[in-house]
Structure 1
Amino acid sequence: MNKSILAVAVTIASLTLAGCGTEANQAAQQQHLQPIDVAQVLVKPVQNWHTYTTRLEAPQEVALMPRVSGVIDKINFKEGDSVKEGDLLFTLDARPFAAVVDSLKAQIESAKAALEQAKSEAKRAERLTERKAISTEQAESRKSTLRQREAQLLALQAELTAAELDLAFTQVRSPIDGVVSRANITKGNNVLAGQSVLTSIVSNQQMYAYFDIDERTWNQSFADVTAQSEQAVVMQKVGETSFNFNGKINFIDNQINQTTGTLRVRAVFENDEQQLRAGSFARIKLAADKVSEKVIVPERAIGTDLKNRFVLTVGEGNVLEYKLVTVGERYGSLRAITSGLNENDVIAVNGPARVGPGMPISPNTVTINSDGIAFTLSNNHSDLVAKQ
């Protein structure tokens, strides 16, 4: 009897100890759960962004050449300076041209005197003809001489005008507002009219960016866009991480390039602060007209598994689940998900950096921050943000 009582007591004690051990293990497991930031996904109306590479071009560019041949007498600008239309840049030796002008002026005075004499003789011939004191042939000869003198004077006056233009052209002026390059030919050198490039000037108040959109993309995303729509675009320069420059489309070519299947488009950017230079490499972004709602998650929440993209969602019992996703456009630090998630999903915000699927976690609920990030692109340039 005593042995039976002892066996029962041992069994009860063993079960009690086992139960205490299980509770202790569960408590320890709860204490060691990984605290993970989780958040409910965002759902936003978005537009697809399209990115193109280009080089900036000045709306106006001039290879400055003299309109007369001569010797450079003076350079009147500082290389690299901004110049205005009409500013004097080069002066050629004007003395040969001034001498031609003076000579023609003297010839004109002589021609005027000869014309006056011819007029006088023609009038006399008319009076003598009335009295039949001169033959008709002589009278016609004097009238012919008058017309010749008039023509000679007109020819000399035209030559004088051309000579005065040549004299004026010895002062080579800027034909546009812009920035002047270096002087290619310096003082004392002879230059040829229409051949010698003295310097170059590019306008700098605006910059053009030409880029080519393939026909399919144009028809799917931009079919309703016209130059008058002033479709907004943003631009990023080389070495920059943000699209800081706002512009608009102001030209669309009138036909598709049959060789490349693309349409040439031009965007214009104001350059009031002189931060843009012609020839610079740049990236252009513009948004499609169509707006649709998409699930939005942080870029860092997306993991890569060989060739698949996935997101860890919080399932029943706070256990992480593996979900394959298809990613869409990037918006600042956020990314659109086109398939794989729904609006009620809660995700691990920092992705699979420290956790993996099937792992229980201790969730720390946070909110996905989308402040200052543009998901749609309007025609109002103030709506465009650098974070794009």
Structure 2
Amino acid sequence: MQSLLLRQLPVTHRLGQFALAALATAVLAGCDVQGATGQDAPPPPEVDVAAVLVEAVTINETFTGRLEAPETVELRPRVSGYIESVTFTEGELVDAGDVLFEIDARPYEARARAARAELEGARNQLQLAGQEAERARELMDDRAISREEHDQRVAALADAQARVALAEATVETAELDLEYTRVIAPVSGRAGRALVTRGNLANANQSLLTTIVSVNPLHVYFNSNESDAHGSRQLVDPRAGTPVRVTLGGATETNRMATLDYIDNRVDPATGTLTFRAELPNPDGLFTPGQFARVDMPVTRLDQAILVDRKAVLTDQDRRYVYVIGDDNTAARRDVVPGSEAGSLLVINAGLEPGDRVVVNGTQRIFFPGMPVSPNPVAMRPGAGDDSAAVAQNQR
């Protein structure tokens, strides 16, 4: 029935339907073409690219050291007696010669007076013996006395001289004992607590009164293994005072330069390490004996080290890599083995060659290896070409 109706439609009407269908098809086709070609592809992302640096770098290793006082004094009295006063503040700095304790001096003052009196008597006896010996010589010349009596008077003079010498020594000893009642600091440093206080008996050469440790300068002792020690011996010289950096950990790190002044003469066979010592200035007393510190010391020198900005090195699980830009301006992934740090730069031990260009900024715009990029040439950050040593990451 439908075919019959179509056949009955005018020819012009059927041609109009076909024209409309063709027009709709053309419009749809045009829309598809416009959707496929009307929007341009995005341009390659712009990234900062720098050539690797090739410089001579001194590599530092970080060691764990301990601060020690060059001088440690256990202060004991030289005379016995009761402590009259403690004249220092516990835990504070003292200077050599400061009086720290005072012992009751009255018994020693009395002994000194007695010794001086004995000396005065001995001198009087010496004067008398001298006069008698002189008269004996005169009488001997006149043959008025025997030689035996003359010799006795000469011997008495010698004995009087000896007694004077003994009395002088006794006075000196008594005055020293009196002086020792004032216990003074033999070295400058920080005093500990008073172990014998006022009213207590202090025994000569026995009672420990306090301890003093020198604080300026301090010594820093640290150990290096044989391989690092061998490299360090080529780079450091205790006689020249090679500088090393000492860092004190804490809420805020404090570092200060010290000078190497001693290397042990043998390797410890039990540990396989060699002991180094550096002298650390400590005028403000900030560093304290007994503290642990980190010591950065040169262990080797690389004449042709390859360095890149730390931001260029990316991490993929246990691998480290960079993006290297080729001649066709595509970013190729390159696995690397990073080494020590040199300021904001990293020493690359393997994976890069001189002349390689790496992406230092904009790596987040690279979505896959081989992606085209628009390189923007920049300089690698300065700081690797000077004589400042790179600081190794591993702690000892």
Q: TM-score range by the shorter chain?
A: 0.7 to 0.9
- Which residue in the other structure is 1:101 paired with? 112
Partners in 2 of 1:314 and 1:19 — Cα distance?
Answer: 36
Partners in 2 of 1:132 and 1:270 — Cα distance?
Answer: 80
The answer to whether the 8 A contact 1:41-1:296 is kept is no
Q: Superposed, which structure 2 residues align to 1:214-253 within 5 Å?
A: 214-223=225-234, 225-239=236-250, 244-253=255-264
- Which residue in the other structure is 1:381 paired with? none
- Which residue in the other structure is 1:154 paired with? 165
2:356 aligned residue (340, 344, 349): 344
Partners in 2 of 1:255 and 1:194 — Cα distance?
Answer: 37
- Mean CA deviation greater in 317-326 or 78-87: 317-326
The answer to whether 1:202 aligns with 2:213 is yes
Residue 128 of structure 1 and its aligned partner are, at CA, apart by 3.2
Q: 1:220 to 1:350 in 2, by over 3 A?
A: farther
1:176 aligned residue (178, 187, 190): 187
- Which residue in the other structure is 1:111 paired with? 122
Q: 1:125 to 1:160 in 2, by over 3 A?
A: same
2:286 aligned residue (275, 297, 310): 275
Q: 1:63 to 1:357 in 2, by over 3 A?
A: farther
The answer to whether 1:163 aligns with 2:174 is yes
Letter in structure 2 aligned against 1:329 = S
Across the aligned residues of Structure 1 and Structure 2, the Cα RMSD in angstroms comes to 3.6
The answer to whether the 8 A contact 2:221-2:275 is kept is yes
The answer to whether the 8 A contact 2:52-2:358 is kept is no
Partners in 1 of 2:71 and 2:215 — Cα distance?
Answer: 9
- Which residue in the other structure is 2:85 paired with? 74
Partners in 1 of 2:46 and 2:85 — Cα distance?
Answer: 74
Post-superposition CA distance 1:156-184 (Å, at most 9, x none): 11111111111111111122222223222
The answer to whether 1:62 aligns with 2:73 is yes
Partners in 1 of 2:24 and 2:249 — Cα distance?
Answer: 80
1:328 aligned residue (334, 339, 351): 339
The answer to whether 1:254 aligns with 2:254 is no
Post-superposition CA distance 1:104-125 (Å, at most 9, x none): 1111111112222222222233
Post-superposition CA distance 1:78-106 (Å, at most 9, x none): 22332222122211111111111001111
Letter in structure 1 aligned against 2:275 = R
Partners in 1 of 2:377 and 2:94 — Cα distance?
Answer: 56
- Mean CA deviation greater in 17-26 or 64-73: 17-26
Residue 317 of structure 1 and its aligned partner are, at CA, apart by 6.7
Partners in 1 of 2:305 and 2:235 — Cα distance?
Answer: 23
How many residues matched? Answer: 372
Normalised by the length of structure 2, the TM-score is: 0.80
Which sections of structure 2, spanning at least 5 residues, go unmatched? 1-14, 392-396
Normalised by the length of structure 1, the TM-score is: 0.81
SS at match of 1:223: helix
The answer to whether the 8 A contact 2:52-2:356 is kept is no
The answer to whether the 8 A contact 2:72-2:214 is kept is yes
Post-superposition CA distance 1:261-283 (Å, at most 9, x none): 33322112222333222222100
The answer to whether 1:143 aligns with 2:154 is yes
The answer to whether the 8 A contact 1:320-1:356 is kept is no
